[in-house]
Amino acid sequence: MSSRLVVVGDAVLDRDVEGSAERLAPDAPVPVVEERESRVRPGGAGLAAVLATRDGHDVTLVTALAADAAGVQLRAALEDRGVEVVDIGLEGFTPEKVRIRASGRSLLRLDRGGPPGRVGEAGAAARALIGWAEGVLVSDYGRGITGAPSVRAALADATQRGAPVVWDPHPRAGVPVPGATLCTPNEAEAHGFARAVTRAASGESRFSRDGAAPSPAARAGAPASGLAAAEDAARSLLTAWRAWHVCVTLGAAGAVITDGDGPAVAVTTDHSAAGDPCGAGDRFAARAAGALLAGESPVDAVTVAVAAASAFVRAGGAFAVDAEPHRLPYAAADPTAVAERVRAEGGTVVATGGCFDLLHAGHVRTLRAARELGDCLIVCLNSDASTRRLKGPERPIVSCEDRAAVLAALGCVDAVAVFDDDSPARILERLQPDLWAKGGDYVGAPLVEASALASWGGRAVLLPYVDGRSTTRLIEEARSRAGA
């Protein structure tokens, strides 16, 4: 069953003009772009809402749209992508970002709409929607919606009720309401906010109200960069914003998260994030919000969000969302919703299964190979009870919750479906994958799932076996070394 996520923020209409640039203008040394196509898509909080929808959540976006052509287009683009829109009204013009692109690269961005207009006040229905949400993502683009008193009051109600609230702040906007579960400024934003906090505190004393000193980098006047400086900024903002956790995103370097107790947690990515970073912050925040909504811890939510943002960048960023939506990472999703969406888009659903106890290199190679077969990969994971029946009373070594979290953090895995049976037949009947990938060690062995696959036309495929890689062997080797 999907979960209801309320996204609150400033939606923008993104307009991409794609063309080719093969010559310079005769009157100026600028490229001449021959326009081939122009398309519109939701940007800002609208992009975050679309990504959360594609992660399998029911999403309502509370935003402010003007009564102009751009506002009409933006609402239609959001609703076409499955987002319910609650509009509290905007005086002025709906903001637009027009990108002129050639050969897959942006040459120019033109911003329309002028300075932010006055945002309306949320009515009783909108306030109740936010205040009683299962989870909230605030996607602040500095256009005014989070400054509306009625919206801030409703967000405060959500935090006081204990709902998971992720707040993605913007330098031109107000600070998060106290009690946010996770605040996610990027590196530049975090240092800018932290400097403002330090300046405000310096008028009173060298220390903040609770005795926390300004960051060492700020005291020394050193340039703010790197992991240590990001942690200092996060701790400063944690106190100033009275948040439960602050995570500073560091682009290709990952992120650092702290709750103020003990060392901060650095989350890195194993992959190069070469690609288009447009929209990566929205991908990160939407993924983290979905993971918290699914019951993950903030550290685990950040871990899977870093992996999702990295994969998003490599896939082409925001520009690739409409081109190949099913190639994007699906997070904390209902696996059935993932399968249905990919199927509806004409894609190939691939599933594989196993216990994945003590995930090792052989597992990862097999999972990557399975993902290459189609447009999403759903891992059917044996529960703890199922694993004990299959592997013996001393297994699993790692709990089902942790095994699922590790699998979900892999860039090649789109969703994880836990099953408690001895056979995956029932979960396969629910997912109805086009391909069921098995390891090469099953060559010649009968498939108990064969009849289930045949009922909807699914096919089994074997992947090469990675010799010398097995969980049983790892356990035996560990025991041998422990007894030596």
Q: What is the pLDDT of residues 166-213, one digit of tens each?
A: 999 998 888 999 999 999 999 999 999 999 888 887 764 433 334 344
Q: Can you state the angle between helices 298-314 and 280-293, rounded to 10 degrees?
A: 140
| pLDDT for the residue numbered 328 | 35
| pLDDT for the residue numbered 324 | 40
**Residue 210, SS3 per DSSP:** coil
Active site residue 282: yes
What's the CA angle centered on 106, arms 101 and 112, to 5 degrees? 85
Residue ranges for the chain with pLDDT beneath 70:
1-3, 203-225, 270-274, 322-333, 440-446, 465-484
| pLDDT for the residue numbered 183 | 97
What's the CA angle centered on 309, arms 353 and 5, to 5 degrees? 80
Are 240 and 225 in contact by the 8 Å Cβ rule? The answer is no
Q: Which residues pair with 8 in a beta bridge?
A: 62, 138
Q: What is the DSSP letter of 422?
A: S
Sheet with 459-463: strands ordered across: 415-419, 376-382, 349-354, 435-439, 459-463
| pLDDT for the residue numbered 76 | 94
| pLDDT for the residue numbered 477 | 59
| pLDDT for the residue numbered 188 | 93
| pLDDT for the residue numbered 164 | 96
Instruction: Enter the tokens of residue 120.
Output: 């309306």
Of the candidates 14, 87, 282, 384, the residue annotated as catalytic is: 282
Are 8 and 45 in contact by the 8 Å Cβ rule? The answer is yes
Please give the span between the terminal C-alpha atoms of the chain, in angstroms, as a whole number.
49
Which domains does the chain show, CATH number per domain? 4-320 (3.40.1190.20), 334-483 (3.40.50.620)
Round to whole Å and give the CA distance between 450 and 47. Answer: 41
pLDDT in tens, 360-418: 778 888 898 899 899 999 999 998 888 899 888 888 888 887 888 888 878 788 889 88
| Those residues with Cβ within 8 angstroms of residue 437's Cβ, 6 or more apart along the chain or in another chain | 350, 351, 352, 366, 369, 370, 373, 460, 461, 462, 463
Please state, as a whole number, how many other Cβ atoms lie within 10 Å of the Cβ of residue 30. Answer: 11
